[in-house]
Structure 1
Amino acid sequence: MTPDLSRYNKSAADVVKQSIVGIALGEYLIGLIGVLLAHAAQSSDVITIVMGTSGILGTIVLITATIKINDFNLYAPSLAIVNIFDSLFGKQVNRTVVTIVIGIVGTLLSIMGILGQFQGFLSLLGIALPPVGGILVAEYFLVKRYKKGF
């Protein structure tokens, strides 16, 4: 979970509810609506679909929603990095500076063409992350060693 959303997950049931609602609504229902709109507009281009169904207002909503999502995608890692420095090194780092630095680095990487390496990166994540997730789930639900220190 992102550092910002984790404060709402007080129990395992909260995590399950949030995951089910997020997947059911966010993935399946919204995805289905997108597919139906693409068929209606006879296009796979998002801007064509939005312009054809909701005009300039829909395009403005799409652009501002993309900006908001990008802001959140920048905010959550910034919090994580600040927390890492605080937890591992005992050093307080300014969140604003970290956010600006990460934003600049991300912009520079996109200018340099990092998108061309994205498929390989996703393959690496697909290989590396599931075992880590399995270990975290097993620790949380089965082993529960983390509770012994409290």
Structure 2
Amino acid sequence: WFWVIGVIQVVLVLFGMKWLEYFYRYTSVVLLVCYGVLAYLLFSHYHVRMPAATVPMQWGTAISTIVTFSILAWTYKVSTVSRFARPASDAHGKKAFFFAPSVGIMVSVLVMGLMGMYSQQATGNWNLALLGAHAPIWGVIAAVGVALAIIHTNAMNLYPSTVDLLVALNTFRRPSQWEQPIATIAMGVLGTVLAILGILNHVAGFLDVIGDVIIPFTFIMLVDWLWVQRRQTPVAAFFAQPRTGHDWWSWP
């Protein structure tokens, strides 16, 4: 199953952003509908209640984990959408386009976390999609739909990872014709192997460590973009080739 998902996401990325975006757009709707069906199944067929704390609650750690998980996605790639995805009819952009990606990510992380918590309490497993194995045919279909939609998340993580790797490498070398497919396949295989080895078992520790860096860095980005640059810097300035030593270290 890991290899099936891995192969599908690699193929999607090899086709490029145009077809990946089509897949992402339509499976997003599938994910929302199917996740709603599974949530209904959880609350209608199981005794769901607020889980009781079994150990003292570490609120600082819990909040840091949620914030880091959300901000990691925003800072890594969605910040570009927030800053530059403006309606063509409005040259100055709208505030809604700036806030929508951030709110969308944080709300989805929070809601899916809550559903996982209730599922863990009621069924003993946090993965809501596994309810499909004990449900009527419509529950099975919903579980398959969620699994399909998860592929788009993996593919949308693989695509920018490949691009970021190539951008870093091309700083020191010239681009070649086959570097994109080779990098995509290599990183896809690496990600699949890490998933098989159980990398998710260590995700909490990873988020704790990365949060110490990513949270302060994110607020620096926000202050710089909103107060220093005042959302006026042209997009091209972020991709201009540095020519002097000062250009390598200065921020647009």
Q: Normalised by the size of structure 2, how large is the TM-score?
A: 0.46
Q: Partner of 1:98 in structure 2?
A: 183
Cα distance, 1:76 vs structure 2: 2.1
| Alignment partner of 1:56 is 2:136 | no
Equivalent-residue separation in structure 2 for 1:50 and 1:78 (angstroms): 33
Partner of 2:228: 143
User: What aligned pairs does 1:30-109 form with structure 2 within 5 A after superposition?
Assistant: 34=115, 38=119, 42-45=122-125, 46-51=128-133, 52=135, 54-86=138-170, 88-89=171-172, 91-92=174-175, 94-109=179-194
Provide the rounded CA distance (Å) in 2 between the counterparts of 1:31 and 1:76. 25
Give 5+ residue unaligned stretches, structure 2: 1-73, 87-92, 238-251
Q: CA deviation at 1:144?
A: 2.1
Q: Is the 8 A contact 2:131 2:139 kept in 1?
A: no
When structure 1 is superposed on structure 2, of 59-68 and 121-130 the one drifting more is: 59-68
Q: As a proportion of its length, which structure holds more helix? A: 1
In structure 1, list runs of 5 or more residues that go unmatched. Answer: none
| Cα RMSD (Å) | 3.7
Structure whose CA Rg is larger: 2
Displacement of 1:105 after TM fit?
1.6
Aligned equivalents of 1:56 and 1:116: distance in 2? 26
In 2, distance between residues paired with 1:22 and 1:118? 18
Tell me the alpha carbon deviations over residues 113-140 of structure 1, each in whole angstroms, 9 at most, x when there is no partner. Answer: 4344332211111111111111111211
Q: Give the structure-1-normalised TM-score.
A: 0.70
Give the Cα–Cα distance (whole angstroms) in 1 for the partners of residues 164 and 184 of structure 2. Answer: 11
Residues paired across the two proteins, number: 145
- Specify whether residues 73 and 44 from structure 1 end up closer, same or farther in structure 2 by C-alpha distance, changes over 3 A only: farther
Instruction: For 1:16 and 1:90, locate their aligned partners in 2 and report how far apart those are by CA, in whole Å.
Output: 37
Amino acid paired to 1:107: T
Tell me, in whole angstroms, the C-alpha distance in 2 between the residues paired with 1:28 and 1:116.
20
- Post-superposition offset of 1:19: 2.1
Alignment of 1:7-22 (within 5 A): 9-10=85-86, 11=93, 13=95, 14-22=97-105
- Residue 100 of structure 1 and its aligned partner are, at CA, apart by 0.7
Deviation, 1:18, is 2.7
User: Which residue identity lines up with residue 49 of structure 1 in the other structure?
Assistant: L
Partners of 2:201 and 2:105 lie apart in 1 by: 29
